[in-house]
A and B are shown apart, each in its own frame.
Chain A
Amino acid sequence: MRHKTSMLGKYGRSLAPLALFVVIVLLWEQAPTVFKIPEFVLPKLSRVLSVFMDARTISTFVDNALVTLTEALVGLIIGGGLGLVVGVLLSQSSLMMVTFYPYIVALQCMPKVALAPLLVIWFGFGLTSKILVVALLCFFPMLVNTITGLRSVTRENLELFKAIGAPRTATLSHLYIPAALPNILTGLELAIVVSLLGAIVGEFVGAEKGLGVLLVQAQFQMNIPAVFAILLILVVLGLLFSLSVKYIRQRLLFWIPQESKSFKA
């Protein structure tokens, strides 16, 4: 009996989100007509999807999405990479740690996107300013999580590496980095979310191309179906980003037993 209910539960579990999806789609399609919501507030889903029916619009979307993607990914690699490297360097020297850490914490508390206007003035309307906004946003979650991860190395493990006479570099590559990997990947997960955010906000402030620019243009033209269409693209991009980190996580952290793997940030 118990077995049967749990089977049903499992079945229901995978069906429930699908059912909700259908409900949302139907509501979105019907609500504007039923409740007489004007198009500039909430266009029907079919109206939003019809935006994608035009070949020229699609190529504009693709063009601009590629710009936003480039900004997000390059910024993520630079900012995240720096966060990782600086985290490792700081953890290697307690003097560096006590010197820099207070400032890092202080900077982290500040809303980094507020720097976007300044960065646009300094680096112009091209890719650079947006990449820097993204890098700035991605740097901190990677740095903080890398440091947390490196600190999670146990005393027993350090004693083992001392006993086998491991040189510093080997201790780093065989102990610290793998031990910190769960946290580093959590940092990456957080960084990847803010990377798109940074690119879009940067584009709002000042840019020639990008989904953020399209969004503002559509808003000015009161082309609300286009606004929703761009938002849909962003949802898909965000999902792809976070799914790819999940995939990397599963590949790299195979050694963590399943139950404890889901400690999400």
Chain B
Amino acid sequence: MGSNSIIELDAVVKNYATAQGSVPALSAVTTTITQGDFVSIVGPSGCGKTTLLKMIGGLIDASGGKIVLRGTQVTGPRDDVGFVFQGAVLLPWKTVMENVLLPIQVKRRVTEKDRARALDLLDTLGLKNFERRYPHELSGGMQQRVSICRALIGDPSCLLLDEPFGALDALTREGINVMFNQLWRTTRKTVMLVTHSIQEAVFLSTRVLVMSKRPGEIVDDIKIDLPEERLPEIIGSSEFGALANRIRPYFTKLAMD
């Protein structure tokens, strides 16, 4: 494994206990994620991609195998990981600012420096002057951006996103994707994104992992050789189309099975 690898997955397995016995959700996933990469995981519903992401984030335990993050095995949630959930999961009784600072507030006193950093993050994600608002005053896209700020407030080396833009309309989603690409280029964080959208995966990633249906395993590992700066125009390019077309058959085939 390369010296600049940040996440190592070694035969990671997940079984779920049901009334009918143990059901495998994920079968032996092995791969290595390089530092600074943007890796998307795509696959049919129920293939275990969210499960895999939550195991890397230490939110659920693996049934077998090993997950190593920055040299140490993952045994629970860690400060060097930021997690963005499917819904924004903001606390309605806290302002945007308080929501962003929550991961710090639950552990120690919030300092002026933390506040400055939060304002900076909000600014980067196009939420300048929204810090005193409450979540119900924001649109869905804005709420999700606040939750991205919250995941970044502790300056994690790794950002895990679980279908964060799935509930947004197409235009909002495209705008957020462009913004998110910019954020990734400036912060150089390692990102893992679970998504249903082939277009989103190709647009944002440097690498796309395709998973099979349950029990999920990685069936393809595609390098996305596009310039780092991604603008909406790129979606119409032939390279983009070729990459998307390489992924699509997996979905159609899986859907037919």
Contact = CB atoms under 8 A, between A and B. Distances in A.
Interface of A: 156-157, 159-167, 170-171, 174-175, 178, 181, 255-257
B87 A178 contact: no
A166 B93 contact: no
Given A157-B89, A160-B89, A162-B77, A170 B134 contact: no
A164 B57 CA distance: 10
Given A255-B136, A257-B136, A174 B89 contact: no
A125 B234 CA distance: 85
B107 A159 contact: no
A156 B89 contact: yes
Secondary structure of the B contact surface, majority rule: loop
Contacts of B136: 255, 257
Given A160-B85, A160-B89, A163-B59, A174 B107 contact: no
A255 to B, nearest CB: 5
A161 B106 contact: yes
B105 interface: yes
Interface string B77-88: 111000101010
Given A174-B91, A178-B93, A256-B92, A159 B85 contact: yes
A255 B106 contact: no
Contacts of A256: 92
A255 B103 contact: no
B89 A164 contact: no
A245 to B, nearest CB: 18
Contacts of B85: 156, 159-160, 163
Given A156-B85, A174-B106, A165 B91 contact: no
B107 A167 contact: yes
Contacts of B89: 156-157, 159-160
B102 interface: yes
Interface residues of B, number: 20
26 contacts: A156-B89, A157-B89, A159-B85, A159-B89, A160-B85, A161-B106, A162-B59, A162-B77, A163-B77, A163-B83, A163-B85, A164-B102, A165-B78, A165-B79, A165-B106, A165-B107, A170-B106, A170-B107, A174-B91, A174-B102, A174-B105, A174-B106, A255-B92, A255-B93, A255-B134, A255-B136
Interface of B: 57, 59, 76-79, 83, 85, 87, 89, 91-93, 102-103, 105-107, 134, 136
A164 B134 CA distance: 21
Contacts of B93: 178, 181, 255
Given A163-B77, A165-B106, 14 more contacts: A156-B87, A156-B89, A159-B89, A161-B106, A164-B77, A165-B76, A165-B103, A165-B107, A167-B106, A170-B105, A171-B106, A175-B91, A181-B93, A256-B92
A161 B85 CA distance: 12
Nearest to A164: B103
A77 to B, nearest CB: 24
Contacts of A162: 59, 77
Given A165-B79, A170-B107, A159 B91 contact: no
B16 to A, nearest CB: 16
Given A159-B59, A159-B85, A166 B106 contact: yes
Q: Which 3 A-B pairs have the closest CB atoms?
A: A170-B106, A166-B106, A164-B103
B151 to A, nearest CB: 9
A222 B21 CA distance: 76
A163 B83 CA distance: 7
Contacts of A160: 85, 89
A176 to B, nearest CB: 11
A99 to B, nearest CB: 27
B177 to A, nearest CB: 23
Contacts of B107: 165-167, 170
A163 B103 CA distance: 9
A241 to B, nearest CB: 25
B74 to A, nearest CB: 13
